[in-house]
Chain A
Amino acid sequence: MRAPLSWLAEHVDLPEGLTGRELGEVLIRAGLEVEKVEEVGSDITGPVVVGRVLAFVDEPQKNGKTIRWVQVDVGPAHNEPHPDYAQGCRSVVCGAHNFAVGDLVVVSLPGSVLSGGFAIAARKTYGHVSDGMICAEDELGIGHDHTGIIVLPDDAGLQPGDDPAGVLHLRDDVLDIDVSPDIGYCLSIRGLAREAGQNLGRTFTDVIDRPTPPTKLDGYPVRLDDPACPLFVALGVTGIDPSRPTPRWMARRLVMAGMRSISLAVDITNYVMLETGQPLHAYDASLLRGPIVVRMAAPGETLVTLDDVTRTLAPGDLLITDDSGPIGLAGVMGGASTELRDTTTDVVIEAASFEPVTISRTLRRHNLPSEASKRFHRGVDPDAAYSAAHLAARLLVELAGGTLSAAETVAGAVPAMPVQAIDAGLPSRILGLDVPPERVVEILRASGCDVELDGHRLSLVPPTWRPDLVDPYDYVEEVGRKIGFDKLPSVVPSAPVGRGLSAGQRARRAIGATLADAGFVEVLTFPFGSAEDLDRLGVPADDARRALVRLANPLAETAPYLRTSILPGLFAAVGRNTSRGNDDLALYEAGSVFLAGDGSVAPIPSVSGRPTSDELTAIEAALPRQPRYLAAVICGQWRRPGWQGEAIAAGWPQAFAFADRAASAVGADVERRSAEDAPWHPGRCAELVVAGEVVGHAGELHPDVVRAFGLPERTAAVELDLDALVRLAPGAGSIRPVSGHPVAKEDVALVVPDSVAAGAVQQALVDGAGELLESISLFDVYTGGHVPAGHRSLAFALRFRAPDRTLTDVETAAARDAAVALAGERCGAVLRAF
């Protein structure tokens, strides 16, 4: 809603000199979202004055145009001497012809700046030096008209040289307000003026001053067949002169309010709507056929709306009809068949009340936001209809020369407003500020409510323009808004002792911090994807990741599914990075994936109380499974070559290390087993096992996948079920005593067939060595030399220590031999001589 300050000032006694910006501040604190205050016309500077046309000559030009060479009296302060005119004048070239000698016009003289920064200077054109410009509406920013220049009325007492700003309504402050859905009454000058008056403590004069009379059907016949239209006022005005123009002041206000001037009769209905909030519709009475009936649409009915679009109506669309069928989509848009023509002389003015929900459904069904539907779907004061219709009728009489028919129709009645009773102390309790009952009563009465105070109980009836006042807390808000939220104290509530983060939350925090410390960079990607992503990953048809959840209205048709793997999103992030020259990457993301459930319907229980446990269970069952996954992709160089040493290529070892670090962050160990799974290289993929459960996979990507996603060669990746890892993490561990006795070190090199995993050999050594073994580490993998083909030598460093004594050489050797023996037994390992 765009509200000119001058218009508001006609309805509320604003303090002298109050600016739009100052009023805006007041309204903001009262809960109106004043998005901006436009200082209209403030960009026009310099000498823009009234001029009287003294003489002109029409001069045809070679380009086919005829220009006027005009002498214009711009007052003693601005006139230059001229041989023909004692008082002097200015000479100006003008392209328009809609004026005569003696007319008053608007002249912008050299040095002035017009709307949009258009600077005026004396300039040579069409063989003359034009000493300024005669202005059209658009050049002054007061209208869209450029068909001719502005001719000022003769009866305004203007003299050459006067400032035309007043008569042109050039300067105004326009408040641009985004009205929230609960206060539809503020989509009007009336409503905003009321808020301004109440919040400034100034007198508001209500333009709606005629009580709605009881039903009478003396005027145009109207029948209401549906409760969604409780009230319909119809007034007839005959004999209007369709050639009358819209007066400048009205056109100016419409433009400032963001509408266009169309024709006098239409402008009047729009003007009254802006002023009162009551949308009006005017029918050409000669085009109406029989009584107006308001009813719901029948299936298959159609209507050509004012915008010349044929609309197929749905049951649930409320219609205005006559004998010819639908003539309007109630509260949304009128029909073309009865719209005003430039020949219309007799009109029927409709001012009706429609149920907001009905209008809201229709406007969405037909995607037809209009000035009328914007108001009706928020709720329009039904008691304003009768007065608004009369305001429009009076303007048609005064400005268009029409005659108001004495016979009028008021079908239906203003619905009763709901009664509410609240404890007078409720506002104090909910606001956290002591508001005495008398003050509550005073505020609510000022807001238009009927209030009865009986002991501690307030009996309340809201005014007809406040359909938002229903529940007790609605009244609390009204009291709070009028006091001002800035008056409330600021009190931090005392929570009971909390338990801190849950174990899972702590675990996920630890994992994130650990991975970042280890050199991995977290990114956040959109969790959408396509089936083609899975094809490119090489995911088989029966894989769990094919349980895709499709969106009904995806953001992009190329990514209509929710992700079942984080990896494609990370691969895309790799692409964005490498295209920007970030080549060495270790990206990770933790987030939900979505695995389709049974496709059941989530119920919509009543909101009157807690849903049953069956209903809640059914909602859960309808949701996709949404485990949190953790994934990483690694490519380029893990360490760049530098003065400290050679480059280390990034690849599968870091993918494995990523899983190890994530697990160790929560105290778990990962066992890796050779595995085959998409999208990994079949010989370079490990399944990640925690506490006996496979939680994910890691390794080098399959070359086909690398190619399909355009990734750098040898890119590695890991993806695991983060929730599972956290669930499988051990609880608090126990600390082994630290022995102060000397360590005994033994190195062994074992030759094993290539098919034997190092991990298996190590496990055999650990099991064979017994409890004296303190630690073991693989330090060399060797092939060639004396190692037979198809075999490799694995060298382990073993450290033995006893908690209570120094180990003898014999003890150490025995433990080592036992370890090697078990490795031989289990893995066919043979001790290699150094």
Chain B
Amino acid sequence: MPGDQPADLSQTAIDDLVAQALTAFADAATGAELKAARLAHTGDRSPLALANRAIGTIPGPERKDAGQRLGAARAQVGRALADREAAIGAAELAQRLASERIDVTLPVELGPEGAQHPITALMDLMNDVFLDMGWEVAEGPEAEGEWLNFDALNIGPDHPARGTTDTLFVAPIENHVVLRTHTSPVQIRSMLDRPLPIYVVCPGKVYRADEFDATHVPVFHQIEGLVVDQGISLAHLKGTLDHLARSMFGEDVETRMRPHYFPFTEPSAEVDLLCFVCHGASVGNPDAPCRTCRSQGWIEWGGCGVVNPRVLAAAGIDTDLYSGFAFGMGIERTLMFRNNAADMRDMVEGDVRFSRSLKGMAR
């Protein structure tokens, strides 16, 4: 076909070339075969290309007709090629996709599984409840002046909690520096440092010369709240604790404020939660004891009350104008109730399995 012979530009000859090309394309089963057919029938050295080049040699009036014939033929071949290319491409893609199926259940990882400690996560979560209400988060040192930890809180020099059996002292004891036994000194610092009104929570680590067992650790975490404003009442404390309880334990939670005694609040109360497990059904029912509430029906969550005016006075606040409330609860205890953590020792032993036990929003 290709050669030095003058090209035959007759309709018959062109039709023949077109037919050859279409057959070759149709016979091509793969992309590679189609590429070979494309080069053979549309390439620079293909008969149609050579014929096209020969048009210029055709004299006068015949040139136009030959050009039109050839143009139509090349267009037809081009369309056929594109169609075939699309068909083969689609078939080959389908085959490739079929062959590339993966097992989506294989384990994948970007890196090791990190985690924040559940106590940290819960503390952040509790802080957020108050931040959302416009409160701020106050912090203070863990080794603290005895005055801030006790005296300013109306815990007098003879109070038993100030003994070495309850409180860890920095040596020598006469220097009056203790490891804070609650985050309440941060409340005092807030009252000394912040402008009124005050709406703060004080989360952090606290220390007690306590035993170390499933429900007691000598180093643990608390969150305390303090409000000092005009017209603050016990009803405001109740509202705040109800809101916190609902945020932590869901809308159905039931709270109870029970009168109690603390030196730094007056009136004072303890706040209890209705047992999540037995809902009080275990009380007086030895056949269905409840481990969670020890068949008491209620779980003690924290302490609270109206700030004793003696405390406000020690911080230089005018008790005729201002009143306040305060509350505090253990983060570890809250974690036990909220996430069923059974043993407090797990929280301080550093086992990675404990740290990893709660993920993301499941905290």
Contact = CB atoms under 8 A, between A and B. Distances in A.
Q: Please determine whether chains A and B interact with each other in the same assembly.
A: yes
Interface of A: 21, 28-31, 33, 36-37, 180-183, 357, 360-361, 364, 429-433, 471-474, 476-477, 480-481, 485-486, 488-502, 505, 509, 512-513, 515-527, 549-555, 562, 569-570, 572-573, 576-577, 580, 582, 584-587, 591-592, 594, 599-605, 607-611, 616, 619-620, 622-624, 626, 638-639, 642-644
The 6 A-B residue pairs with the shortest CB-CB distance, nearest first, are A610-B316, A432-B235, A31-B259, A573-B350, A432-B233, A477-B267
B195 to A, nearest CB: 10
A638 B235 contact: no
B63 interface: no
Contact of A524 (B117, B146, B163, B283): B117
A471 B171 CA distance: 36
B238 A489 contact: yes
Contacts of A473: 266-267, 306, 308-309
Contact of B147 (A433, A555, A570, A602): A602
Given A473-B308, A492-B236, A587-B350, 13 more contacts: A181-B261, A429-B233, A430-B306, A430-B323, A474-B266, A485-B269, A492-B242, A495-B133, A519-B112, A551-B171, A562-B179, A624-B143, A644-B108
B352 A524 contact: no
Contacts, number: 300
27 contacts: A31-B261, A180-B261, A181-B261, A431-B234, A480-B267, A481-B267, A485-B267, A490-B238, A495-B135, A498-B136, A498-B199, A502-B137, A515-B114, A518-B111, A521-B113, A522-B116, A526-B219, A527-B142, A527-B205, A552-B164, A552-B169, A553-B169, A555-B168, A601-B175, A620-B145, A622-B175, A626-B143
Interface in B131-178: 131, 133-137, 139, 141-148, 151-152, 154, 158, 160, 163-164, 168-177
B229 interface: yes
B94 to A, nearest CB: 27
B329 interface: no
Contacts of B152: 607
Given A481-B267, A498-B131, A603-B147, A492 B240 contact: yes
A639 B135 CA distance: 43
B310 interface: yes
B111 A496 contact: no
B124 interface: yes
A432 B324 CA distance: 12
A489 B235 contact: yes
Contact of B257 (A486, A500, A522, A600): A486
Contacts of A181: 261
B238 A491 contact: yes
Nearest to B323: A430
Nearest to A505: B137
Contact of B238 (A488, A509, A577, A626): A488
B192 interface: yes
Contacts of A36: 296
A492 B243 contact: yes
B228 to A, nearest CB: 11
A147 to B, nearest CB: 32
B257 A526 contact: no
B234 A493 contact: no
A44 B163 CA distance: 44
Contacts of B218: 526, 555
B87 interface: no
Interface in B274-291: 283-284
B314 A609 contact: yes
Interface in B187-217: 192, 197, 199, 205, 209, 212
A591 B209 contact: no
B227 A493 contact: yes
A493 B209 contact: no
Contact of B114 (A361, A429, A520, A573): A520
Contacts of A430: 233-234, 267, 306, 323
Given A364-B163, A497-B134, A518-B111, A471 B266 contact: yes
A485 B238 contact: yes
A717 to B, nearest CB: 15
Contact of B259 (A472, A477, A491): A477
A610 B317 CA distance: 8
B183 interface: no
A490 B348 CA distance: 36
B310 A501 contact: no
Contacts of B349: 573, 576
A475 B283 CA distance: 33
B68 to A, nearest CB: 44
B106 interface: yes
A607 B154 contact: yes
B60 interface: no
B176 A604 contact: yes
A584 B257 CA distance: 47
